[in-house]
Amino acid sequence: MGIWTHLNSQELKRLKETPDNLPEDGFLWLDASLDEELAWMPSVETLLGFKLDELHHEDLRNTFHPSHFDIGDGYSILIIRTLSNKPLFDDTNRLSIKTRPVFFIITPKLLVTLRPKDSPAFSLASQFLDKASSRNVEEIESFLKFKRAPSDPNELMIQLVSNMADRFLETRMEISDQLERWQRDLLNPRKRFQDWNALLAARNEMNRLESVAQDQRDALTDWQEDLERESRMAPSLQVNARDTLEHLERVVSQTRRLGANTETAVQLHFSAMAHKTNEIVTVLTMITALFMPLTLITGIFGMNFVQMPLQDNPEGFWITLGLMGISSLVSVVLIFWFTRRNHMGK
């Protein structure tokens, strides 16, 4: 049935059972797990005095729902996709970014969160509440990043979303390190690159991560605009909202940069391969130019004619051999001249 908490400026108190009324001072927070499905919904609707829209009921059951913000009658709903706790790279070095939804039902006096059971952001909040239950709020460390306890459901929500957005930023280093290793392997002329499937999968995952971050940013922007339109956004809340949106912008820009760096490394790899191929063709062309006159002369004197010039001449062999030597010398001189000219041109 979830965990109920009463929050106000003086205390943060865990509740052992579902409250009968909304508090006059502070607000309530119901933290439920996705594993519980919607068993807590009847008690929440009874407490609020109205029912949630049926379409929103369906959204809360959809674990594949993208990040989104919507307004209901007396409440608003925010869906934010967050990273799962699975490793980013599997045993084959393949990047796989898994996300899960976190649902926020926001009312003036009640915040309902429906989230994965092992969410790090909510685990941190739970640890804080456990400490706050036994001590005064002012005597313990700040709540997540707040200098004080949140004063309303929107303030608590934005702080939780900010911590979830920070997890996307933390993945940057791990992904960047792997992409740098791939780039070094791609540009290493002595090593044949083998991880093409993993690299192409990483490019696709970068595009998907960018799309997830953009959906988060759009949903949070819609929430911010709704509060500003109704003049319900306090200055401290605006600061935290702008900070969270800035973090999401950084996720989008960094994802684009990582994708661009990967694309650049692939293009440099193919350019290096083309350059290497050109060098091999140049060497083969030089060898061909060196032996072509010799092959021509040998082919002429290998024809099956009864009478040929120099065939009956006792010095014919040596004359032919001399012509072949002169032709080879001319070819070597021309190759040296062209090679030197190309180097001077560079």
Is residue 198 within 8 Å of residue 93, measured between CB atoms?
yes
Whats the size of the chain, residue-wise?
346
**Whether residue 215 sits in one domain with residue 157:** yes
**Whether residue 198 sits in one domain with residue 294:** no
pLDDT more than 90, % of the chain: 21
- Rounded distance, CA 128 to CA 255, Å? 32
Q: Residue 230 gets which letter from DSSP?
A: T
Where residue 322 sits, what CATH number does that domain have?
A: 1.20.58.340
pLDDT in tens, 109-118: 999 999 988 8
Tell me the mean pLDDT in the region 68-84. Answer: 93
**Whether residue 105 sits in one domain with residue 40:** yes
**Whether residue 327 sits in one domain with residue 202:** no
**Whether residue 284 sits in one domain with residue 193:** no
Structure tokens at 215: 């959906």
**Whether residue 247 sits in one domain with residue 185:** yes
- Rounded distance, CA 200 to CA 207, Å? 11
- pLDDT tier, 186 (very low <50, low <70, confident <90, very high otherwise): confident
The residue with tokens 């919607």 is: 38
**Whether residue 95 sits in one domain with residue 31:** yes
**Whether residue 239 sits in one domain with residue 301:** no
**Whether residue 290 sits in one domain with residue 142:** no
- pLDDT of res. 76: 95
pTM here is 0.76
**Whether residue 215 sits in one domain with residue 135:** yes
The domain boundary, picked from 271, 292, 310, lies at 271
Domain ranges, residue 328: 278-345
In terms of pLDDT, which residue wins out, 339 or 70?
Answer: 70
How many domains does the chain contain in total?
2
The domain boundary, picked from 253, 271, 289, lies at 271
pLDDT in tens, 266-293: 787 778 778 788 878 877 887 787 778 7
The domain boundary, picked from 271, 301, 322, lies at 271
**Whether residue 242 sits in one domain with residue 290:** no
Mean model confidence pLDDT for the chain: 82
pLDDT in tens, 195-225: 878 888 888 888 888 889 899 999 999 999 9
β-strands 27-33, 110-115 pairing: parallel
Helix (H, G, I), strand (E, B) or coil at 6: strand
- Rounded distance, CA 233 to CA 21, Å? 25
Q: How far is CA 70 from CA 3, 59, 67, 103, 248, in A?
A: 25, 11, 10, 11, 20
Where residue 237 sits, what CATH number does that domain have?
A: 3.30.460.20
**Whether residue 288 sits in one domain with residue 240:** no
In terms of pLDDT, which residue wins out, 317 or 54?
Answer: 54
- pLDDT of res. 346: 54
